[in-house]
Structure 1
Amino acid sequence: MLTLLKNTRLGLLTAAGLLLSSVARAQTLEANAPAKTAGMTEQEILFWGLLGLLGLLGVLLLVLLLVGITIVMQMKPQLRQLYDLPMVHNTWSGKMLGLLVGDATLVRGEYKDEILDHNYDGIHEFDNDLPPWWKYGFYFTIVFAFVYVGYYHLTTKGQLQVAEYETEMRQAALLVSAGADDPTKLTTYAALTTAADLSSGKSIFTTNCAPCHGQNAEGKVGPNLTDEFWLHGGEVNHVYKTIKFGVTSKGMVAWKGKLSGKQILQVTSYALSLQGSKPANAKPPQGEKEAVKAGGKPVAGL
């Protein structure tokens, strides 16, 4: 007996020693913790606080759900007796009560199992109700349709898809700089017509553009540039924009940063000067027909 008491006392002392050691270690870690958490911002503290609160609410709701299920299971015989009362059975609240005792009539509807006179190829039709969830869903779609038509088409307060797209494009344009490198802003240049500029444009075209568009702009991988059909606009500033920013989805590289603004306008003017030249082996037209327009402003600043 004495030996047992000694062993018990020794075990308690050992446990106490381990507990004190754990507490001391926790205090040491706590002392070092501020150096790590000192960098937490107010937003991070708020985030973790809200996350903890949501977790607590989730646990609370789960506990309430389990308690509710337990209460219903314990009271199921009494609830069944109440549900079987005639004054309760056919009411809306009675049907809700039926869900708790295992009667899904509120969801699936009534099964009358009465055969109608309809008979086709041996197939008989029963006079059963449609499921209430289906009927209420159908009624909701009718109400929704009237609200939708009234809001979007009669009062015109709601934006349709095209209006939403235009609004989003305007908002996106505000986020892009309005300088010379803004791809949404067209320039107002006029095509160059001097022999020196067109000669420089031809040299640039032969070196950089001919591999895709052909030596005479008849079109190879790229489209024919000598007809009146254009994929991205045939006016000088549209062609300038296409050359400068490219069309990545169609393999047209951006020449911004490789050619100066003056060089881009020179090759643009040269390409437009080939309109109607009708080279041999010209590629079939692509895009929309568009007459090339003159005009614009001088380009002395390039």
Structure 2
Amino acid sequence: MLTLLSIRRALLPVALLAPALAAVAQDAAAPAADAAAAAAAPAADTGAQMFMFWFLLATLALVLLVFGLLFVLLVIKMKPQLRALYELPTVHDTWSGKVLGLLVGDAALITGKDKDELMGHDYDGITEFDNDLPPWWKYGFYFTIVFAIGYMVFYHVTYTGDLQLAEYETEMQQAALLVSADDDDPNKLTTYTALTAGPDLEAGKALFITNCAACHGTEGEGKVGPNLTDDYWLHGGDVNHVYKTIKFGVTSKGMVAWKGKLSGKQILQVASYIESLHGTNPPNAKEPQGEKEAPSGPPLAAK
């Protein structure tokens, strides 16, 4: 009996503290729930706005379609009255009359009319008539003049619009935002310095002979792949350009990416060894390929 009473007395503080602990836990979880709700709110608002935009656009298109059909039906129904109005002398030759003529089947406003007046030029049975250019052609020509003036002012006078080079640079900057900026970003060049320690170059040589000699030769003279000992490079001769080429490969030319087969240290060792081959002039060297680059001097020691 005493033991049971002691247990009850011991559990009484815990029972009294339980509601307080639950309240504290609820208060601690509230900020996380609020943050999740706040993050979901913009997404929900964006979805609702997009739905409303497409709904209004579809409604506008439907209204325009209905009005267009009603207009066509009205013209068909009133075609005899419109033709009688068009044939009036005071209406027929006016610009508004020509617009009216389009509704009743006379396309003179667009195609023009033949004068059937000879110019007096006759050669080998070919005669020339004094007919004006079709109005549609003249209107198109006038439009090109206005467009050319506007284009010149917009791009070359006020510099409001970006030219092709500026547009290209802007698009490249936007594309770079979509690419991760970590070590697996092929657009991000590393800032390594070439390794010059003997063990690193020996390790790079061993890796080169094992993995690269089949295409570039045991001495870098070039076989299927280019010569790696001259001043000419297809993808850059700096150690960081060579590192990038080894890591990501050039799949369009048959060179595989080695980032999944060699570690970053091993790739740098191979790139450093390739740098050390510059100017060795091995026998049977392949002809130069790519762009010539000025020698960068002896490789610097890596930190």
The within-5 A match list for 1:31-42 is none
Q: 1:175 to 1:44 in 2, by over 3 A?
A: closer
The answer as to 2:205 corresponding to 1:170 is no
RMSD of aligned Cα (Å): 2.5
Deviation per CA, 1:258-302, whole angstroms, max 9, x where unpaired? 1112111111111121112222222211110002325887545xx
State the match for 2:27 in structure 1: none
Counterparts of 1:90 and 1:47, CA distance in 2: 50
Counterparts of 2:215 and 2:75, CA distance in 1: 77
Q: Which runs of 5+ in 2 are unaligned?
A: 1-43
The answer as to 2:195 corresponding to 1:200 is no
Counterparts of 1:109 and 1:70, CA distance in 2: 27
State the match for 2:288 in structure 1: 285
Contact 2:220 2:228 in 1 (8 A): yes
Contact 2:98 2:109 in 1 (8 A): yes
The answer as to 2:271 corresponding to 1:247 is no
Please tell me the residue identity of whatever aligns with 1:120: Y
The answer as to 2:107 corresponding to 1:104 is yes
State the match for 1:159 in structure 2: 162
In the TM superposition, what is the alpha-carbon distance from 1:105 to its structure 2 partner?
Answer: 0.3
Contact 1:189 1:298 in 2 (8 A): no
Contact 1:223 1:283 in 2 (8 A): yes
State the match for 1:113 in structure 2: 116
Over 4 Å off, 4+ runs:
41-63, 294-298
Please tell me the residue identity of whatever aligns with 1:210: A
Counterparts of 2:152 and 2:298, CA distance in 1: 46
Q: 1:119 to 1:278 in 2, by over 3 A?
A: farther
TM-score, normalised to structure 2, is 0.76
Q: 1:156 to 1:65 in 2, by over 3 A?
A: closer
The within-5 A match list for 1:51-130 is 60-130=63-133
Identity %: 66
State the match for 1:24 in structure 2: none
Counterparts of 2:67 and 2:101, CA distance in 1: 21
TM-score, normalised to structure 1, is 0.77
Please tell me the residue identity of whatever aligns with 2:85: L
Deviation per CA, 1:218-253, whole angstroms, max 9, x where unpaired? 112211111110011111111111111222222222
Deviation per CA, 1:8-56, whole angstroms, max 9, x where unpaired? xxxxxxxxxxxxxxxxxxxxxxxxxxxxxxxxx8887877777676666
State the match for 2:260 in structure 1: 257
Counterparts of 2:288 and 2:48, CA distance in 1: 63
- When the two structures are aligned, how many residues end up with a matched partner? 260
Counterparts of 2:301 and 2:178, CA distance in 1: 29
Counterparts of 2:47 and 2:95, CA distance in 1: 48
SS at match of 1:116: strand
